[in-house]
A = this chain, B = another copy of it.
Amino acid sequence: MLDYDLTRWGMPLRYAVETVGTVAFAASGILAGMRRRMDVFGISVLGFLAAFGGGTLRDILLDRRPFFWVAEEEMLWLVLAMCALSLMLWRRGRRAAVSAKAIQVADALGLGLFAASGVQYALVAQMSPLVAVLMGVVTGVFGGVMRDIACNEMPTAFADHRPYAVLAFLGGWVYLAVQWLGGPAWAALIGATLVTTGLRLLALKLDWRLPGWRPG
């Protein structure tokens, strides 16, 4: 049922958005490695961890094989090409011309889509609603968490004090709500993505803060 809906909704659209998410997360990892003056291998690992870490952890937790990057191997080649490209741009002394804002927008899009697709994969694997929503959070967030841990930093998702993972959690429940109301899988996927990504962009624009331990 789910897969049938997805097929009708159109693989090209899903594929395009997934590619954008992968590129965005890979870029965030590559830029993080450059900022820390890693060598070309460290930069590549961070790119791969950020782009594939969340989805791989989800696939391990759901016991889903082949991994999504084995089934859609062109994603691996894409990220490998990005790593090679970043190296070439770099050797010629040019700085990557990607503004921090562009990265944030792409990251918000990736967060929303990866979280929504994580919920869907978990539902296909017969998980309960809470587990499915948590799988969505894992898919959307843990690529960035692994990137930060490999950099030997406290993950920004844990101490950013702006809504991030909480929005993926919220988007997961939107997915389930659409489905409980009888909506098709494509509507749930788009609705969840829009809520997560839209609220993330709003949160960045309006500087929303999460409750947290404030010094003083």
Q: Is the CB of B212 within 8 A of A38?
A: yes
Q: Is the CB of A212 within 8 A of B39?
A: yes
Instruction: Tell me, rounded to whole Å, the shortest Cβ–Cβ distance linking A153 to chain B.
Output: 6
Q: Contact partner of A131 among B39, B73, B91, B213, CB < 8 A?
A: B73
Any B CB within 8 A of the CB of A134: yes
Most buried by B among A42, A60, A80, A161: A42
Any B CB within 8 A of the CB of A37: yes
Chain A 26-53 interface mask (CB, 8 Å, partner B; 1/0): 0000000110111111100110000000
Q: Is the CB of B76 within 8 A of A159?
A: no
Q: CB within 8 Å of B: which of A147-164?
A: 149-155, 157-161, 164
Q: A130-B77, A215-B37 are in contact. Are A155 and B159 (CB under 8 A)?
A: no
Instruction: Tell me, rounded to whole Å, the shortest Cβ–Cβ distance linking A99 to chain B.
Output: 19
Size class of the A contact interface (CB-based, 8 Å): 35 or more
A214 to B69, alpha carbons, bound, how many Å? 33
Q: Is the CB of B211 within 8 A of A91?
A: yes
Instruction: Tell me, rounded to whole Å, the shortest Cβ–Cβ distance linking A9 to chain B.
Output: 28
Any B CB within 8 A of the CB of A15: no
Main secondary structure of the interface of A (DSSP, over half): helix
Closest to A154 in B: B152
Q: Contact partner of A166 among B40, B145, B161, B166, CB < 8 A?
A: B40
Closest to A45 in B: B158
Any B CB within 8 A of the CB of A61: yes
Q: Is the CB of A39 within 8 A of B149?
A: no
Q: CB within 8 Å of B: which of A111-149?
A: 127-128, 130-131, 134, 145, 149
Q: A60-B60, A90-B211 are in contact. Are A76 and B158 (CB under 8 A)?
A: no
Q: Which 7 A-B pairs have the closest CB atoms?
A: A42-B158, A39-B212, A37-B213, A152-B154, A41-B165, A39-B210, A39-B161
